[in-house]
Structure 1
Amino acid sequence: MSAPHPDELLIGLVSISDRASTGVYEDKGIPALQDWFGKALASPWRMETRLIPDDQPTIEATLIELCDRVGCHLVLTTGGTGPAPRDVTPEATLAVAHKVMPGFGEQMRQISLAFVPTAILSRQVGVIRGRTLILNLPGQPKAIAETLEGLKDAEGQQKVPGIFAAVPYCLDLIGGPYVETTDTVVKAFRPKSAIRPKAV
């Protein structure tokens, strides 16, 4: 078996839903993220997936496992970020955090507000645990893509940046792999001094 590429990104995808985790309905969050990353990433990546219920101890244990034992560089959750009693994803995420990155949640709500006024009810957060970036995403596939990519005008020009444009540089800063993106989907932003020359 060949060794993994030194810049292979290991992504943890966690779908949080009581009903999907018990088979009442099909989970759509993880397939939507798999599809999106297949289009958006131009460098090597692989993923670990988990489908779990809306239970804070379970969410916390899953995040710790993916960060500390599996060694994911990036962990994305979907679901459980609203105001309902069972929505505890942000609480679980903050409970395992070493640093809070409030800009991610602020930008996600800013993007979603362009589509629905109920975006102000969302409580998504972004945090760092060790060398892992953890982000809470919306639960619906359309909203997931909008949040990651941002808003573009009719000519395809970026109007509001998506959150993923900042993720590769954040991973650089916390000791993760060098992630490259497909610019037509989402263009990673780095300061000029942090950009690697393209391999010839």
Structure 2
Amino acid sequence: MRKGADKFSCAVITMSDKGAVGEREDTSGAALQQILKDEGYSLDEYMIIPDVESRIVETLVDLVDNRSIDLIVTTGGTGVSPTDITPEAMRKVIDKEIPGMAEAMRAVSFAKTPNAVISRGICGIRKESLIVNLPGSKKAAIENIEVVLPAIPHALQKMKGEKSDCGG
């Protein structure tokens, strides 16, 4: 269990047209739920929604503005297919982008496959919530979340006003 993670709530949202209508099993969402629970986060929400920009925006805004979820992890919709619109929806939702997180995830993935360069997921802040976009494949989602997991509790603490130095 990661130090401090047990103080925070989380949600896992899968973006998948087929998954939303029960035509595809959501293996990445299931894996992410388990990883976050194992880290100590309180899983407050899990859902599969279609790749529809307005629905993604509405869901993310609700989870932050109305439910105050600390960490929202999305999976799917970060590639270059015509229906991959998660980053576009995210940019309508976040107040600040955290490019280093997405860059680190892509760098680790690139060491394993050249296809990582077409992943477009972003990470950002809305109010006091952190939203992390991950690829839709189980393997890539796990590889990517493992890169940023060590930094997430500290990021959440700082976003909520923790005053200590970051170097500790």
| TM-score of the aligned structures, taking structure 2 as reference length | 0.89
2:158 partner amino acid = L
Aligned-pair CA distance for 1:40? 2.6
- 1:96-123 per-residue CA deviation (whole Å, 9 max, x = no partner) reads 1111111111111101101111000000
2:21 partner amino acid = T
| Alpha-carbon separation, structure 2, partners of 1:58 and 1:77 | 13
* Matching residue of 1:155: none
Contact 2:37 2:43 in 1 (8 A): no
Greater helix share, structure number: 2
1:17 has 2:16 as partner:
yes
* Matching residue of 1:175: 160
| Alpha-carbon separation, structure 1, partners of 2:7 and 2:100 | 26
Which protein is bigger by CA-based radius of gyration?
A: 1
* Matching residue of 2:111: 114
| Alpha-carbon separation, structure 2, partners of 1:35 and 1:12 | 12
Secondary structure at the residue paired with 1:115?
Answer: coil
* Matching residue of 2:97: 100
**Please, which runs of 5 or more residues in structure 1 have no aligned partner?**
1-6, 150-161, 178-189, 193-200
| Alpha-carbon separation, structure 2, partners of 1:135 and 1:148 | 9
- 1:146-185 per-residue CA deviation (whole Å, 9 max, x = no partner) reads 1122xxxxxxxxxxxx1111111110111189xxxxxxxx
Secondary structure at the residue paired with 2:59?
Answer: helix
* Matching residue of 1:145: 142
1:27 has 2:20 as partner:
no
Aligned-pair CA distance for 1:39? 2.6
**Please, which runs of 5 or more residues in structure 2 have no aligned partner?**
1-5
Give the % identical residues: 38
1:83 partner amino acid = V
1:90 has 2:87 as partner:
yes
| Alpha-carbon separation, structure 2, partners of 1:135 and 1:37 | 13
| Alpha-carbon separation, structure 1, partners of 2:143 and 2:81 | 23
Identify the structure with bigger relative contact order (alpha carbons < 8 Å, sequence gap 6+): 2
| Alpha-carbon separation, structure 1, partners of 2:14 and 2:94 | 19
